[in-house]
Chains A and B, each alone.
Chain A
Amino acid sequence: MTSITLVRRIAARQSIVFEALTTADGVAGWWGVDDLPVVVAEVDARVGGAFRICFPTLDGEEHEACGEYLELIAPSRLVMSWRWVRGGVPEELDGTSRIEMELKPVDGGVELTVTHADLRNDASRINHEHGWSASLARLSRLLGASSNAQISI
C-alpha cells in the first residue's frame, strides 16, 4: 500500500492538539500548502460525519477535498477517508485515500503520527502482485533525495 508517514512532536497537551484536528476553527488554522487562509473548512467530527476543506495555493488555484470520519477516539486517534474534488466532482484518478492520526502523550507534549495511506490504489495492487517495495528506496537513491518523511509502497 502506498503511504506516507510523518511524525511530529508538539509541545502542547493532547486535548489541544486533538481539538486542532477535529474542529472547523482548528483545522482552518493550519490546513493547506502555502501559508494562505483556507476558503472552506467544514468539520463534522463524529463517526460517519463529513469533512470538507478548500484551500488556495500561491499559483491562484483552489484545491478541494472531502472525506468522512471513520474512527474517532478522543483524544488519541482519528481515521478519515480523503478524496480530492475538482469542480464538485471527485477526482477519479486518485481515488479515495485514508488518513490516520495517532496522538501519544510524551514528555512535554504529544507525539503526532500522521499516515496518509492508500494513496494510489493501482500502485498498491502492483505492490501485492510484484512486491516492488524496494523500488522507491531505489528511486530516492537515484535522485539523491533526502526526505523527512517515510514513504512506503
Chain B
Amino acid sequence: MLNYQHRDLDRVFAALCDPTRRAILARLEREETLSIKALAAPFAIKLPAVMKHLDVLGAAGLVTRSKHGRTVDVRLSPERLREAADWLRRYERFWSPALDRLAAQAEAKEAELRQSEASEDQSEPPDA
C-alpha cells in the first residue's frame, strides 16, 4: 500500500494547484477532445500562456496532445488523476475496515459485559 510513485504524484498535485489548469481539465472532462485554439478561447490569456499550462499538464501525464494536420488536439488522460485519488484513498482503505473491526470488537465486549452484569443481578439474594 505504500508503493506509489511519489515524484509523479508531486507533479500531478503541483499541476492541479493552478486555477487555469483546473479549468482546462474541467473543460476537457466535458468535451473530451479540443484543439488548443478552442481550449484557449475562454481564457483571458494568450495562446503561449495556455501552451505553457498544457506543458505542465502534459508533463504530469494529465493530458495528451496529438497533431492532426495543422491543429493539435488535447485530450484528458485520467489515469494519473486516478493514482492521485488512490494515494489519498489508501488512508480510507486503511481506516474503514480497521474501524469496522474496532466497532465489532467493542460491541462484542459490551454484550459480554451486559451479560455478566445481568447474571450478577440475578445471583444477588433478593433482600440483600
Contacts and interface: CB of A to CB of B under 8 A. Distances in A.
23 contacts: A4-B88, A6-B92, A10-B107, A12-B106, A17-B106, A20-B105, A29-B105, A30-B98, A30-B99, A32-B98, A35-B97, A86-B2, A112-B99, A112-B102, A122-B13, A126-B17, A134-B22, A135-B17, A138-B26, A142-B78, A143-B82, A145-B85, A147-B89
Mostly helix, strand, loop or mixed at chain B's interface? helix
Given A6-B99, A122-B10, A142-B29, A130 B18 contact: yes
Interface string A1-25: 0101010101111001100110000
B77 to A, nearest CB: 11
Contact of A129 (B17, B89, B94): B17
A114 B95 contact: yes
Given A33-B94, A126-B14, A143-B81, 9 more contacts: A4-B95, A6-B92, A6-B95, A12-B109, A21-B102, A29-B102, A135-B16, A147-B89, A149-B92
A151 interface: yes
Interface in B1-54: 1-2, 6, 10, 13-14, 16-19, 22, 25-26, 29
Interface of B: 1-2, 6, 10, 13-14, 16-19, 22, 25-26, 29, 78, 81-82, 84-85, 88-89, 91-107, 109-110, 113
Contacts of A145: 85, 89
Contacts of A29: 101-102, 105
A13 to B, nearest CB: 6
A145 B93 CA distance: 14
Contacts of A151: 88-89, 92
A139 B92 contact: no
B97 A119 contact: no
Contacts of B99: 6, 8, 30, 112, 114
A6 to B, nearest CB: 5
